[in-house]
Amino acid sequence: MRKILFREALREAMTEEMERDESVFLMGEEVAQYNGAYKVSQGMLDQFGPKRVVDTPIAELGFAGIGIGAAMVGLRPIIEMMTFNFAILALDQVVNTAAKMRSMSGGQLSCPVVIRGAGGAGGALGQQHSQSLEAQYVHIPGIKVMMPATPYDAKGMLKTAIRDPDPVIFIESEILFGLEGEVPEEEYLIPMGKGDIKREGTDCTILTWSRMVHTSLDAAKKLEEEGISVEVVDLRTLRPLDKDIIRQSVKKTNRVVVVEEGWHWASVGSTISDFVSRDLFDWLDAPVERVHQADTPLPYAFNMEEFTLPNAERIMDAVKKACYTKA
Partner 1 sequence: MDTMTEQLESPPAHEVRAGYSEITPEQGERIRARLSDEKILDMYENMVRIRRFEERAGRAYQQGKIKGFCHLYIGQEAVAVGAMSALEEKDYVVAAYREHGHAIARGLESNSVMAELFGRATGCSGGMGGSMHIFDTEKHFYGGWGIVGGHIPTAGGIGWAIKYREEGAVCLCFFGDGSVPQGAFHETLNMAALWKLPVIFITENNLYGMGTALERASSVTDLYKKALSYDIPHHTIDGQNIFTVWETIDACAKEARETGTPSFLDIRTYRYRGHSMSDPATYRTKEEVQDAQQRDPIQRLHNWIVEQEIATDEQLQDIDKAMKQEAKDAEKFAEDSDFPPVSDIYDKVYVDWSWDIEGPEVK
Binding of partner 1 by 278 (CB under 8 A): no
Question: Which lies closer to partner 1 via its Cβ, residue 143 or residue 176?
Answer: 143
The answer to whether 43 touches 53, Cβ cutoff 8 Å, is no
Binding of partner 1 by 166 (CB under 8 A): yes
User: Which residues, 118 to 157, sit near partner 1 by CB under 8 A?
Assistant: 141-142, 144
Q: Is 264 a catalytic residue?
A: no
Q: Transcribe 76-91 into DSSP letters.
A: EEEEEEEETTGGGGGH
Cis peptide before 148 (omega within 30 of 0): no
Binding to partner 1 by CB under 8 A, coded x per residue (else -) over 175-194, reads: -----------------xx-
The answer to whether 7 touches 15, Cβ cutoff 8 Å, is no
The answer to whether 210 touches 120, Cβ cutoff 8 Å, is yes
Question: Which lies closer to partner 1 via its Cβ, residue 104 or residue 301?
Answer: 104
Q: Is 60 a catalytic residue?
A: yes
Position among 28, 36, 67, 181 found at the interface with partner 1 (CB under 8 A): 67
Binding of partner 1 by 28 (CB under 8 A): no
Binding of partner 1 by 105 (CB under 8 A): yes
The answer to whether 109 touches 69, Cβ cutoff 8 Å, is no
Q: Is 39 left (phi over 0), alpha (psi -120 to 50) or beta?
A: left
Segment lying near partner 1 (by CB under 8 A), choices 72-80, 173-181, 248-256, 295-303: 72-80
Binding of partner 1 by 198 (CB under 8 A): no
The answer to whether 177 touches 118, Cβ cutoff 8 Å, is yes
Q: What is the CA radius of gyration of the chain?
A: 20
Binding of partner 1 by 266 (CB under 8 A): no
Position among 42, 62, 286, 321 found at the interface with partner 1 (CB under 8 A): 62
Question: Which lies closer to partner 1 via its Cβ, residue 56 or residue 215?
Answer: 56
- State the Cα–Cα distance between residues 84 and 107, nearest whole angstrom: 29
* DSSP structure class, residue 283: G
- State the Cα–Cα distance between residues 145 and 153, nearest whole angstrom: 14
Binding of partner 1 by 293 (CB under 8 A): no
The answer to whether 157 touches 210, Cβ cutoff 8 Å, is no
b/e per residue 46-81 (b: at least 16 CB within 10 A)? eebeeebbbebeeebbebbbbbbbbbbeebbbbbbb
Amino acid letter, residue 191? P
Segment lying near partner 1 (by CB under 8 A), choices 9-17, 58-66, 150-158, 292-300: 58-66
Binding to partner 1 by CB under 8 A, coded x per residue (else -) over 78-97, reads: --------------xx--xx
Which one from 8, 129, 292, 305 is the annotated catalytic residue? Answer: 129
The full length of the chain comes to 327
Question: Which lies closer to partner 1 via its Cβ, residue 2 or residue 51?
Answer: 51
Binding residues for partner 1, rule: CB under 8 A, are 25, 51, 56-57, 59, 61-75, 92-93, 96-97, 101-110, 112, 141-142, 144, 164-166, 192-193, 240, 243
Q: Which residues are catalytic?
A: 60, 129
